Amino acid sequence: MNRLTISIAMCTYNGEKYLQEQLESIAKQSRLPDELIVCDDNSQDGTVHILEAFAATALFPVKIFRNNINIGSTKNFEKAIELCKGDVIALCDQDDVWMKCKLELIEQEFIRSDNIGVVFSNGNIVDEKLQPLGYTLWDTYRFKRKHKGKFMTGNAFQVLVKRPMLTGATLAFRSSLVKYLTPIPSIFVHDAWISIISSMLTDMQFINQPLIAYRQHQQQQIGGTKQDVLQRARCIISYDNQIDQNKSILAHINKLPLSDTSFYTSSILEKISHLESRNEIYASNFFKKMKGVFIELMMRRYHKYSNGWLSVFKDVFCKMLLSR
């Protein structure tokens, strides 16, 4: 069996409360990494001290880079990724805990096929004390059998163009993709960008089990909270940010080594048009709103690029819900 080199790209920022547990879980991996690259975003607590103490005893190289100013998580991950030297890069948050077999199982998937460029897994959602909350990352993203089927048949783009479903803390990818993934636009969270761009370039394989304990706490930037229908309906009242994100994807497509970009370009253009229509629907009076919803339904764009009938419900009743 061929052996790959594996780099871990970790980003830290004022993470002293939970960082030690994450580092210990990396040190206990059944397949140790070949290097741990840590980019600290100008922490003002004891984060760097914890990292330096860990580096002094780790059984693998630990390289710590500290930013003089805070550059934000997206650009910090971009920096960490570009500093990695391994064949495979596994992303790592500062506040989770990895299952012992995580890197071993990831490596097995990459070795299984040269066509696999990205591997990701599920994760258990836990509280601050690592107690399970009874649901998983895939539950929060509603990553279901139909989505898994598209990934298995090489159609991950059709899933990811609709909405992000991969959590960076579970994500690993071949370093050969890095030149096509960077720079990462600041308007994106790094994992959403990496997943959608990678889906145009390579096969993506999921490991159908939780390989991390994904911690929920008050200080985290992005959580895995499970929302009910009304919470999801209230969460977005403007699609300008999503429109700008998709325009960034559109501008990037021509930089990719693709023989034919027409499918990806037309899909992104159609999604932008759909999001612009949803902006107009939200701002319209009832009768114009219903006309816009009917047109989007007839074109099936609610189901291709949004959440189907849930999104219809949101567009029709969102103002009423927000006024309560």
Q: How confident is the model at residue 2 (pLDDT cuts 50, 70, 90)?
A: confident
> From its phi and psi, is residue 130 left (phi > 0), alpha (psi between -120 and 50) or beta?
left
Structural domain includes residue 221:
no
pLDDT digits (tens, 9 = 90+) for 211-247: 999 999 666 555 555 555 445 445 567 899 999 999 9
pLDDT digits (tens, 9 = 90+) for 168-204: 999 999 999 999 999 999 999 999 999 999 999 999 9
> Higher confidence at residue 320 or residue 126?
126
pLDDT digits (tens, 9 = 90+) for 306-315: 999 999 998 8
Among residues 180, 215, 250, which one ends one of the domains? 215
- Cα distance between residue 98 and residue 116, in whole Å: 22
Residue 189's domain spans which residues? Answer: 6-215
Q: Which residues contact 83 (CB under 8 A, 6 or more apart)?
A: 9, 37, 39, 63, 65
Structural domain includes residue 1:
no
Q: Is the dihedral of CA 285, 286, 289, 295 positive or negative?
A: negative
Structural domain includes residue 115:
yes
Structural domain includes residue 171:
yes
* Residue burial 225-236, b: 16+ Cβ < 10 Å; e: rest: ebeeeeeebeee
Number of structural domains found in the chain: 2
